[in-house]
């Protein structure tokens, strides 16, 4: 990945207005001898959303991961069997609480992958952790030819019924809902170009300009499905997350800001731009579509053109609070894996 090259070259740059840490949890245990506690964790959390590319074939799909955070080598070697109960009733409860319309994944759509310490008997799934294996990953073989309605989202639900003599961590979710949806037509990897004008810091530029000028070539970003008609920008070069990349005398980014584009599926027009971190986020940043832009996705050329604003009242106190004006083009490069 290009981002690793840049991160080594540019070991220290400041994220403009960053209000949230970008450090990911490592989930690596420390060897503390006979003291300490071995914890069971759910790195993916209790709600997992997997967006899949439409497919007519059978493919292996990862649902979630359990992690045994062992406090020493002996504990890592010790075999523990964690058991989960398949509980479809949780899906109805989730739908009621979240006003969603998830359907249980039909049993003829998939088979369980029983390997690497995973076994399934009836409604019970056993995950063996130990012998140096800290991770238990649950997969299914999904038959894409059965999934004919792209608008339908399916789910599988589980309850951890036996912790296998491992202490549950304080962050452990004892229920896991896995949502499965199909990527929308705007999802993909795109060549990213445009202009950016920031009235607070006029030296800021659209990241693609300096990236090309300094010999790195085309700047690419990903658009990730987050709904039937919505995608969010994902920066895979500088940040590896949903941070909007910029250049201001060095590689940087707008903290707690990342555009979400919503489309009219009948016309392919962009009907709204919002901030992934909230409208507004904790640092008062929000996004707003500029109606003077083209604001349209051309399905023939697979090109998206959009003009929008970043609003920030705590630095631009006068209405309409526009700090940055962004005019961009996204040209499709390829599908995401």
Q: φ, ψ for residue 94 (rounded to 5)? A: -65, -45
Which class is 39-182 in CATH?
mainly beta
* pLDDT tens-digit series, residues 46-58: 999 999 988 899 9
Q: What is the pLDDT of residue 253?
A: 97
Domain ranges of the chain: 2-21+185-334, 39-182
Q: What is the pLDDT of residue 229?
A: 93
Q: What is the pLDDT, as a whole number, of residue 324?
A: 98
pLDDT given for residue 297 in this prediction: 98
- Give the mean pLDDT per block of 10 residues along the chain (337 residues): 44 40 35 67 91 92 95 92 98 95 96 96 97 93 92 95 95 94 95 98 97 97 93 96 96 97 97 97 98 97 98 97 98 92
pLDDT for position 35: 52
Look-up of token digits 């201001």:
248
pLDDT score for 24:
31
pLDDT at residue 151 in the model: 83
* Radius of gyration, CA atoms only, the chain: 23
User: CB atoms < 10 A from the CB of 187, how many?
Assistant: 17
Distances (CA, A) of 90 to 63, 73, 154, 173, 179: 16, 37, 13, 13, 12
pLDDT of residue 8: 36
Q: What does pTM read for this prediction?
A: 0.74
Topology classification of domain 2-21+185-334: Lipocalin (2.40.128)
Domain 2-21+185-334 and domain 39-182 have a common topology: no
For residue 171, the model assigns a pLDDT of 85
Phi, psi of 92 (to 5 degrees): -65, -40
Rounded to whole angstroms, the Cα distance separating 76 from 337 reads 32
């Amino acid at each position: 990945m290009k981002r690793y090259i840049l991160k080594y070259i540019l070991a220290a740059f400041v994220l403009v207005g960053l209000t949230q840490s970008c450090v990911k949890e490592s989930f690596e245990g420390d060897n503390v001898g006979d003291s300490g506690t071995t914890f069971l964790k759910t790195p993916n959390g209790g709600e997992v959303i997997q967006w899949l590319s439409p497919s007519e074939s059978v493919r292996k799909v990862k649902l979630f991961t359990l992690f045994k955070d062992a406090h020493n080598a002996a504990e890592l070697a010790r075999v523990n069997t964690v058991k989960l109960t398949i509980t479809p009733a949780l899906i109805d409860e989730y739908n009621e609480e979240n006003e969603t319309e998830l359907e249980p994944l039909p049993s003829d759509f998939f088979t369980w992958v029983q390997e690497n310490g995973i076994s399934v008997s009836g409604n019970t799934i056993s995950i063996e952790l130990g012998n140096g294996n800290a991770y238990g990953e649950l997969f299914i073989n999904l038959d894409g030819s059965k999934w004919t309605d792209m608008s339908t989202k399916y789910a599988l639900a589980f309850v951890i019924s036996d912790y296998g003599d491992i202490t549950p961590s304080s962050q452990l979710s004892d229920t896991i809902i896995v949502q499965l949806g199909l990527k929308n037509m705007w999802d993909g990897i795109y060549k990213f170009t445009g202009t950016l004008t920031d009235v607070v810091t006029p030296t800021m530029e659209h990241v693609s300009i300096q990236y090309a000028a300094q010999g790195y070539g085309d700047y690419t970003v990903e658009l990730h499905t987050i709904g039937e008609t919505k995608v969010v920008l994902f920066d895979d070069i500088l940040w590896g997350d949903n941070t909007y990349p910029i250049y201001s005398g060095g590689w940087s980014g707008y903290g707690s800001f990342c555009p979400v584009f919503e489309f009219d599926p009948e016309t392919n027009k962009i009907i709204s731009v919002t901030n992934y971190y909230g409208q507004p986020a904790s640092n008062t940043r929000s996004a707003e579509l500029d109606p003077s832009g083209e604001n349209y996705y051309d399905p023939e050329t697979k090109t998206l053109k959009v003009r929008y604003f970043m609003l920030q009242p705590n630095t631009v106190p006068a209405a309409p609070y526009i700090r940055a004006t962004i005019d961009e083009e996204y040209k499709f490069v390829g599908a995401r894996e």
